[in-house]
Amino acid sequence: MTEPRMRRCLFLALLSLVLVAAGCASSAGSGPESGPVPSAQAEGDGAKADRQLLNGTRNGAWESSYEPLPSGPVLIRGGTVMTAAGEEIAGGDVLLVDGRIQAVGMDLDVPAGAHVIDASGRFVTPGIIDTHSHLGVYPSPSVEGMGEGNEATNPVTAEVWAEHGVWPQDAGFWRALAGGVTTIQVLPGSANLIGGRGVTLKLVPGRGVTDMMFPRAPMGLKMACGENPKRVYATRGPSTRMGNVAGYRAAFIRAEAYRETWDRWLEGDRQSDAPDRDLQLETLAEVLRGNILVQNHCYRADDMLTMLELAREFGFSIRSFHHATEAYKIRDYLAAEGVGASMWVDWWGFKMEAFDGIPENIALVSDAGATAILHTDSGLEIQILNQNAARAMYAGLAAGIDVSRDDALRWITANAAWALGIDDRTGTLEPGKAGDVVIWSGDPFSVYTRADQVFIDGATVFDRERSRGNPVSDFELGILPEAGRGGAR
């Protein structure tokens, strides 16, 4: 095999679900794919060790220790089933077995021992996903000693990982869960050009962060455009957008060399000592290989186009712009480049780069065929993602933009899952997907509707009707006896 061929083989093996043995021959595709990194079971020991070497999880350190809560078969019967896969089934059933969705349809048989839930008059959706959260790193309470989101000591801190700052006792997790949220990406903040790695969590309580980590979810890399980095580093630089871009470029030039050094060593006989590790470059090299997904805080249309040029120069992909208040101005570029946009419904005007935000942004991006995602960046709004999707949908409809209820649901489920590289496992109600499901008291696009029950991997994690059994953080335990029931209210 020629060297380029070999590298491409490694790249594909790392990236796709396809086994190493079969990968090179059968995979014709190139560039980033939506599939996850190989599962531990599927890849060979050697490939697994190499993957760990490259992404900084050697010896299996830092990998997910998530275990689903125990569950038996559950049949959710007779609800309006919004699949986020095109269909809205009136009077439909959803069957969860072994933590997964086994069937979705009408009049499903009740398996032996199944717990049957009458969802008539209620609505059923996939678990909600937020691509942009700082829960755990900017937790409640937001007081001295608790701010972990921004390592604002250097414009490039690709070496830090959000998961090392996540506080599993953030009371906000369980309020988000009560709002129907099952999966979130926790990102570092936007003080830095390159803020560090993000982590995808399932909202199931654990004592350490690895207990919450979505198994085999790709990591994210937080990058930030525009005003925030240049404000934070005004006195030492970068102090301009020019300086911002020079900073990204300098970092990726070093990352290219690092990647080259490591890839050459891996491809060789490995008789020499392994190259020195550099935590910053280890992360950026994984971005260049397509194994870490770039999540790019960027508001203005021209800033986003500049970032697309940067990605072109170094041959990586931006998975999703975040905030993207002006995404509607360049929605055709986003569609053509396959770059998602994670947006608010209505935040605008708090700084210059947010001045042109409009409520129709999401609908316009969606209608243009780009991957539109509704995100929150907020411990409050994460609890009303369903309402925000409705507001974005109705704003679009009022402007004559062609968006559907399924589109709107996908903004907070399937499309968000795609942005996190987990869309093969969650984000829709389809057989084979994880049993991440919400039963709503009514139409999730009504302001009066509540999440009644939330399932993660088939297990009830939140049930509004039960007085005990919903997660409550240690922090809230006994600290205010009159108040302390977590997200149940």
Kindly list the residues in this chain that would bind other proteins in the complex (CB under 8 A): 140-143, 171-172, 175, 227, 328-329, 331-332, 346-352, 355-360, 364, 368, 379-380, 383-384, 387, 390-391, 394, 398-399, 445-450, 475-476, 479-480, 482-483, 487, 489
* Closest distance of CB 226 from other proteins, Å: 11
User: Nearer to other proteins by C-beta: 16 or 140?
Assistant: 140
Answer whether 84's CB lies under 8 Å from 410's CB.
yes
Both tokens of 182, joined, read 């099952």
* Closest distance of CB 379 from other proteins, Å: 5
* Closest distance of CB 27 from other proteins, Å: 35
User: Nearer to other proteins by C-beta: 376 or 426?
Assistant: 376
User: Nearer to other proteins by C-beta: 253 or 352?
Assistant: 352
Q: Where are the beta strands (DSSP E) in 334-450?
A: 340-343, 372-374, 437-440
What own/partner pairs with CB < 8 Å and gap ≥ 24 does 39-46 have? 39/216, 40/216, 42/17, 43/13, 43/19, 44/19, 44/20
Residue partners of 132: CB distance under 8 A and separation at least 6: 185, 187, 295, 322, 323, 342, 375, 376, 377
User: Nearer to other proteins by C-beta: 466 or 485?
Assistant: 485
In 10 A of CB 128, how many CB atoms?
A: 31
User: Nearer to other proteins by C-beta: 100 or 464?
Assistant: 464
* Closest distance of CB 448 from other proteins, Å: 5
Q: Scanning the structure block, which residue is given the tokens 């679900």?
A: 17
* Closest distance of CB 363 from other proteins, Å: 10
With left for phi above 0 and alpha for psi between -120 and 50, is residue 35 left, alpha or beta?
beta
Amino acid code (one letter) for 51? R
User: Nearer to other proteins by C-beta: 71 or 383?
Assistant: 383
* Closest distance of CB 229 from other proteins, Å: 14
DSSP state of 218: P
* Closest distance of CB 44 from other proteins, Å: 46
Helix (H, G, I), strand (E, B) or coil at 154: coil
User: Nearer to other proteins by C-beta: 256 or 443?
Assistant: 443
Cα(9)–Cα(358) distance, rounded to whole angstroms?
44
User: Nearer to other proteins by C-beta: 7 or 329?
Assistant: 329
Cα(192)–Cα(223) distance, rounded to whole angstroms?
7
* Closest distance of CB 167 from other proteins, Å: 13
Q: What kind and span of H or E run contains 47?
A: helix 45-55
User: Nearer to other proteins by C-beta: 155 or 379?
Assistant: 379
* Closest distance of CB 344 from other proteins, Å: 10
Pick the closest to residue 191 from 164, 226, 221, 166 (CA basis).
226
Answer whether 214's CB lies under 8 Å from 173's CB.
no
User: Nearer to other proteins by C-beta: 159 or 227?
Assistant: 227
Strands 293-298 and 220-224: parallel
* Closest distance of CB 352 from other proteins, Å: 6
Answer whether 405's CB lies under 8 Å from 88's CB.
yes
